Structure 1
Amino acid sequence: MNILLPTDFSENADLACQYAFDIAKRSKGKVTVINAYDLPYSDRSMTTSLLEVMKENAEKNMAAFQRKLKDKYDVPFTTEVRLGNPIRLIKEMATEESIDLVVMGTKGASGLEEILIGSNAASVIQNSDKPVLVIPPDANGKPLQKIVFASDFDMDNMETAFKNLNAFAELNEASIDVLHVQNDVKSKAGTRDAIQAALQNRVKEFTILQTDNVEEAIIKEAKKENADVI
C-alpha cells in the first residue's frame, strides 16, 4: 500500500507518521512524505526572496525529518517539498504517486477543525480521490483493530467504500461494527445481509440509532464501543 503523508514537522505530524509507517510496513508498501509551503493570499505581492527563504527553511526541516525517519522506521519512503496550496498538492500527488491512502494529523479542540499544514481537513477529504485517514491529537497509537463503519444504507453508492474497507480491515486484522443513524423509524429490509456479504462476514455488530444529530451519534457510539477508527 502506497501512503501519502502530509507533514508540518510538528508533534501531531509525528503521530500521523507513526500510523502511516505502520500501515506501510504491514502492507509492504512505501510512504511519500510531502511538506507544502505557501504564502497567504493577502501576501501574494511579497518578493521572491521571501519564497526562497520559505523554501530553504522547508528543505532544511525536511532533511532533519528524513534523518529521523531513517533512524526510526525500516520502511521505504521518499520526501518532497513543494510550493503551492496544500489541498491541491495532496490531490495532485495522490494521482502522481499512485497513492492508496492519505494519512494526516490534525490539531485543534475538535481534531478535525484544522489540518496540520494549515488547511481544513474536511476540504482534503471532500477533494481527495483517495481514502483519507485523519489522526486526532489524542490518538493512542495502538493497532486499528476495531472499526466503526457509519453507513446511510444506500447500497447503490457503496462499492468503492466496501472495497477500501475490506482491504483496510484485512490488513489490520480488524473487526467491523456497522452503524446507521436515521431520523425516522424506517429501515431498509435486507440491507444488513447485503452489507454483511459485501464486507465478507467481518461485521460483528449492527447498530441503528434514531436521532437528528448524526455526527454526535457517530462519535458517541464509537467511544462507547472503544473503536480504534471510524
Structure 2
Amino acid sequence: MKRILVPVDFSIQSENALKTAAYYGRTFDYEIVAVHMLELSTAMMNNSNTTKETVLYLKLAENKFNEFLDKDYLKDVKVTPILKHYKVFTELNTLYNEEKIDLVMMGSKGATGFKEFLIGSNAQKVIRHSNVPVLVIKDEPLDHGFKKAIFACDFTDDSIGPYKRIKEFCDFIGLQTKMIYVNTPGKSFLSSAEMRNTVKNFFDKANNNSDHLEDVSYISDYTIEAGITNYAKSYDADIIIMTTHGRSSFSQIFDHSITEDVVNHVNIPVISFKILPKSERK
C-alpha cells in the first residue's frame, strides 16, 4: 500500500489537502499519514518543572487532532495520525523515511511580495527540502481527482530521472499529461529546430519512443512562469507538474526556484518532483 503524508494545522487549506488525499485513498488504495507538528519550545520539553503543563498541552493537541480527523469522508480510508515535535521543515524528511512515504499532499494559500521574499510559504519550504514528490492543493479540494495535467520540462539530462517517476505516477492514477517546453528571450532562447532536437535527444536518452515528440507543446513567453501559467489556463489543466533542485533558502536569493514561484502564485494544484544529486541517482 502506498502512503500519502498530509501535514495538518487545522486550517481550511489542510482540510482541502485531506479531502483530496481521501479521494486517492479510496480510489487507489493509498493510506493517509496525517501529521500535526507541535510548536513546543525546547525549554518546555526539557524543563522538569513544566512536565505537567507539557503533558496537558500534548493531550489537548491529541484531542483536537482526533476531532479534526473525525470526518465522514475519511470513514472508508486508512488514516494513521502522528504528532511530532518538529520546528523546521527539514526534519520532515526523517519522517518520510521512517513512515515510507510515497507522496506529500498539503494545502497552501501561497505567498506574494515582501512575505514571499523574506519567508515564503510553508509549501515552498516543504518543496525545497522534500526528497519525495509534494502535491500542493490550493483554493479547492480535488475530491474528484485530476483529469488533465501539464508537465513543464526543460528536457535536460537532469530531468530524465524525474520524468520516469512522473510518467509512472501519471500512468498509475490515469492522468492525461501534456508536456510543454517554454522558450524565453535571452541566452536560453532556442530556434524551433533546436527545441525539437533537444526534446528528441531527451526521449532517446530516457529510452522512450521519439513519437512522443508530437505530444510536446512548444510555448514562447517572456518568462517560464508566465508560459506555464498561461498554457495551464488555455489547456484547462487540473494540475501542473514540475521538477525542482530544492535549493537552499540562501541560494534562492541569487537563483530562485521557478517551481516555488509557480506554487506561490497559481490557484491550481502543483506537484513537484525532486531532481536528485548525481551521487543519489541509480
TM-score by length of structure 2 reads 0.67
Establish whether residue 62 from structure 1 lines up as the match of residue 65 from structure 2.
Answer: yes
Check conservation: 2:106, 2:135, Cα contact below 8 A. yes
1:208 to 218, 243, 264: 218
Q: CA RMSD in A?
A: 3.1
Other structure's SS at 2:36 match = strand
Q: What is the CA–CA distance in structure 2 between the aligned matches of 1:18 and 1:131, rounded to whole Å?
A: 18
Correspondence for 1:225 among 215, 224, 235: 235
1:65-214 counterparts in 2 under 5 A?
Answer: 65-68=68-71, 72-108=74-110, 120-154=122-156, 156-183=157-184, 184-186=189-191, 187-188=194-195, 189=197, 191-192=199-200, 194-195=202-203, 198=208, 205-214=215-224
Structure 1 distance, partners of 2:17, 2:162, is: 22
Letter in 2 for 1:208: Y
Deviation, 1:182, is 2.5
Q: Using a 3 Å threshold, how does the CA distance of structure 1 residues 209 and 52 change in structure 2: closer, same or farther?
A: same
Q: Which amino acid aligns with 2:199?
A: T
Q: Percent identity?
A: 26
Q: Displacement of 1:144 after TM fit?
A: 0.8
Alpha-carbon distance change, 126 to 223 in structure 1, aligned in 2, over 3 angstroms: same
Check 1:167–1:19 CA distance in 2 against 1; reply closer, same or farther (3 A cut): farther
Deviations 1:55-98 (A, max 9, x none): 333211111123326x6331212101111225134211111111
- Cα 1:57–1:227 shift into 2, 3 Å: same
Q: Which runs of 5+ in 2 are unaligned?
A: 241-282
The worse-fitting range, judged by mean Cα deviation, of 195-204 and 48-57 is 195-204
In the alignment, structure 1 segments of 5+ residues that lack a partner are none
How far has the Cα of 1:6 moved from its partner? 0.7
Task: Output the TM-score relative to the length of structure 1.
Answer: 0.80
Q: Flag the 1:226–1:102 CA change in 2: closer, same or farther, 3 A.
A: same
What is the rounded CA distance, in whole Å, between the counterparts of 1:73 and 1:202 in structure 2? 41
Structure 2 residue 16 is matched with structure 1 residue 15: yes
Distance 1:200 1:52 in 2: 60
The total of aligned residue pairs comes to: 220
Q: Quick one: distance in 1 between partners of 2:91 and 2:37?
A: 8
Aligned equivalents of 2:6, 2:210: Cα separation in 1: 29
Q: Displacement, 1:135?
A: 0.4
Point out the more displaced range, 158-167 or 3-12. 158-167
Query: Is the contact made by 1:36 and 1:86 (CA closer than 8 Å) also made in structure 2?
Result: no
